[in-house]
Amino acid sequence: MIDFTKRVLAETLGTAVLLTAVVGSGIMGERLAGGNDAIALLANSLATGATLVCLILALGPISGAHLNPAVTTVAAAHGDLSWGEALRYILAQVIGAGLGVIVANLMFGLDPVSLSTHIRTGPHLWLGESIATAGLLAVIILVARQRAEAVPVAVGCYITGAYWFTSSTSFANPAVTLARTLTDTFAGIRPDDVAGFILAQTTAVAIVILARRRLGRP
């Protein structure tokens, strides 16, 4: 059994790297796209999906590579973690996400923190975010039942696709949502809009927990 402190550190580091990839690729994509948002989003989605595959492969054996409070909550609800362990995972993810955004900002010559002014609000975006989050959790659970070693690729591919087929561009992660308020760049979200996204994500988590109880644990 891996020491729990190492597992928490893995969640902190992994979520930090994930956010560095999300924000950094958004900045790079925007700068190189010459005003073409489609090209910027393509760069952002591909970099995020590829990084997720690598992080889950690298950290999965240590912490499970949740990197996401939604994933951790579902795991705790079904006994894979105690609630005390889950709270420490979630705190680590939130801290790591914030650090990752700061690193990305600094890496591209920006202020460490600049609150986003990127407006992302409205029922259509909240619906998109609910679908993105529920879909991610369903992919993890169902692929793990059939072929656990395929989960890293499945998650990376799902997130890459969900950037494009959901109206919200698939944040699907409360820690990611909070952290992306700290960058006034392509990947940012205005602080005023966070509550709607997190409510949508939380609703999706509740639905998946209820559905998983019907299906039974893998």
Each residue's pLDDT, cut to its tens digit, for the chain (218 residues) gives 679 999 999 999 999 999 999 999 999 999 999 999 999 999 999 999 999 999 999 999 999 999 999 999 999 998 999 999 999 999 999 999 999 999 999 999 999 999 999 999 999 999 999 999 999 999 999 999 999 999 999 999 999 999 999 999 999 999 999 999 999 999 999 999 999 999 999 999 999 999 887 765 54
**E strands within 50-130?**
none
Closest by Cα among 141, 206, 135, 209 to 168? 135
Residue 155 token pair: 């998650």
Per-residue model confidence (pLDDT) at position 218: 46
Quote the DSSP letter at residue 185.
Answer: S
93 vs 96: CA distance, rounded Å: 5
Residue 73 phi, psi dihedral angles, 5° rounding: -65, -45
Q: Nearest 5°: CA angle at 64, between 60 and 68?
A: 110
Q: Minimal CA–CA distance to 201: which of 97, 136, 135, 130? A: 130
Determine the pLDDT at residue 1: 64
What does pTM read for this prediction?
A: 0.95
Query: Which pLDDT belongs to residue 213?
Result: 77
CA–CA gap between residue 145 and residue 82 (Å, rounded):
21
